[in-house]
A and B are shown apart, each in its own frame.
Chain A
Amino acid sequence: MADKVLMKGNEAIAEAAILAGCRHYFGYPITPQTEIAAYMAKRMPKIGGTFLQAESEIAAINMVYGVSSAGKRVMTSSSSPGISLKSEGISYLAGADLPALVVNCQRGGPGLGGIQPSQSDYFQATRGGGHGDYHMIVLAPASVQEMAQLTIRGFELADEYRMTSMILADGTIGQMMEPVSFDFEIKEAPEKPWATTGTGMKRKHNVVNSLYLSPEVLEIKNIERYEKYAKIAEKEALAEEYMLDDAEIVIAAFGIAARVAKNAVNAARAEGIKAGLIRPITLWPFPEKTFKKVIGTAKQIISVELSMGQMIEDVKLATECKVPVSLCYRVGGMIPSPEQVYAAIKEAAEKAGE
């Protein structure tokens, strides 16, 4: 079946979650992601699922914690200020090694900020966001199709590694409509012998917990989790490469910024400038190997972001500062134009040619 339907990015997330077997959604209204809640409110009662509008973002993420403890696929979604509120719960999910899917359809910040698209929660997402040493798997869709695809992948990864997957989208991709195919192969959720489903008087009680008062034990727990993270970094990092082979000017951009940048790369190529693009699809783990490939060939990397420069730090780390990296940005809900990115490429190419 290759039939495509025209839908909003946010709706594609919701439909994909249902396909992935998610039957529990908890959320709280916030622009620009409320379509997810609206879609779930319509669909869940028809398929025996649960849609519940929680009293707060904090309650919603803790309801997620409850369903996940009971071994079921579960999700919540919000936008930037709401994700800050959920961060306590996300830290507890990490501490208790619980799988969950959290969607952040980003808007401009800080504070109440605005309701237009942004990528300024990159640090919050890729560094964990809440307290303590932990990571989430962070997936960055750049199309409505990817909103669906990465939602399904997010559930699979969350279950496989017993951790939170975050879809780090933005208001543009959440709101825009594109044709999307739901023709996916979906891995079923694995057995969860650790879940609190009732002992049935057949086994010792299961305990879902993040409290370890013994520092020796808590240290081991943290180290073990980071050993898992190292495996994920090795196996799961993902990026799209576009015209990279001979690229001298390399754009680094994810999500909506990458779509804009691709146009600029095409325009530069038409002018004979050897431009290319790396689009990280996983922001954590960061696709370091892809970036390392351009050390030696790239003369300049331009990080195009809807933030004051957050991913740029990971680009510098991945390339070990062996390639100059500059920033091309708009913030506060503004989006760089292809012309702005093209101008940055042209300037970099001229400098490189000097």
Chain B
Amino acid sequence: MVVFERPHALVDIPLHYCPGCTHGIVHRLVAEAIDELEIEGRTVGIAPVGCSVMAYDYFNCDMIEAAHGRAPAVATGVKRADPENLIVFTYQGDGDLASIGTAETVHAAARNENITVIFINNAIYGMTGGQMAPTSLPGQVTQTSPYGRDVTQCGYPVKVCEMLSMLDGPEYLERVAVNNVKNVRTAKKAIKKAFQNQIEGKGFSLVEVISSCPTNWGMTPSKALKWVDEAMIPYYPLGVYKDRSAGIVPGAKEEAK
């Protein structure tokens, strides 16, 4: 008896990701959500530029490869082309979403564009070989911050969920991690909800997934998962940052007493 199968929405080919990279886990969670919601036949995914650039080969639904950072704009076009039928998601890394594509991200959120955004935050540019990302931690050593990220020179990391939660537009923002079983299960729920919201027409739903990059962090996979707990999560606290339908709307001023 088969008790654990490859989700139908994932193509049956080897992924190119490095050992210990958590992209594989997140791909699987996205595919499981697509399977469970039975939306594969009407889903279009938008791949970014970055490590997950070839995600278009890995998902069984129709796929588009976008220019660097432009996935939310491309997704806007696809969704507007057939809003009643299509389910559209982007899958983007931190350089793509929080650096070169910041404008597209902020404005898609501000418009409450009815799309689902899966945001992989591993605090590094992976594909180009480990440069400082907009989300690299203060002091983090990378190829382009060899003495550690100096906040007096390069400023501070961009906290995407916190930033977007100040906008009136977006429906749902949650930050999750995939460094242990409990967190993976929470991440799965969040990703499924982000798709469910779109099906229900609720609008812009973004799930930020704190991920690990053992190769470019220069760590073993297990050490990298530990670093997620010890360094990443304290800087990027997990949780729901906005869920309009559930009444979680931060930044709303308390009424004067």
Contacts and interface: CB of A to CB of B under 8 A. Distances in A.
Contacts, number: 135
B75 to A, nearest CB: 6
A59 interface: yes
A58 B78 contact: no
B64 A69 contact: yes
Given A200-B41, A201-B40, A201-B41, A62 B62 contact: no
A293 B60 CA distance: 55
Contacts of B41: 198-202
B40 A199 contact: yes
B56 A209 contact: yes
A208 B63 contact: yes
Nearest to A199: B41
Nearest to A200: B41
Contacts of B79: 66
A54 B80 CA distance: 13
B61 A205 contact: yes
Contacts of A210: 65
A66 B99 CA distance: 21
B67 A67 contact: no
B39 to A, nearest CB: 9
B160 to A, nearest CB: 17
A2 B170 CA distance: 49
A67 B77 contact: yes
Interface in A67-106: 67-72, 74, 88-89, 92, 96
B51 interface: no
A162 interface: no
B103 A56 contact: yes
B77 A89 contact: no
Given A196-B63, A199-B61, A59 B78 contact: no
Contact of A63 (B11, B63, B77): B77
A88 B56 CA distance: 21
Contacts of B78: 66-67, 69-70, 196
B145 interface: no
A211 interface: yes
A67 to B, nearest CB: 4
Contacts of A92: 66-67
Q: Which of B65, B74, B75 has the most CB of A within 10 A?
A: B74
A209 B77 contact: no
A198 B40 CA distance: 8
A71 B81 contact: yes
B144 interface: no
A348 B146 CA distance: 66
Contacts of B215: none
B62 A59 contact: no
A52 interface: yes
Interface in B60-93: 60-67, 70, 73-82, 85-86
Nearest to A92: B67
Contacts of B11: 205
Interface in A276-295: none
Given A59-B70, A197-B82, A70 B103 contact: no
19 contacts: A24-B77, A26-B77, A54-B107, A56-B103, A58-B73, A62-B73, A63-B76, A66-B75, A66-B81, A69-B74, A74-B81, A92-B66, A197-B44, A198-B82, A199-B41, A201-B40, A205-B63, A209-B56, A211-B54
Given A59-B76, A63-B73, 8 more contacts: A24-B81, A59-B103, A65-B66, A67-B78, A196-B62, A198-B41, A201-B41, A210-B65
Across chains A and B, which 6 residue pairs bring their CB atoms closest together, nearest first? A66-B77, A70-B81, A62-B73, A196-B62, A55-B107, A63-B77
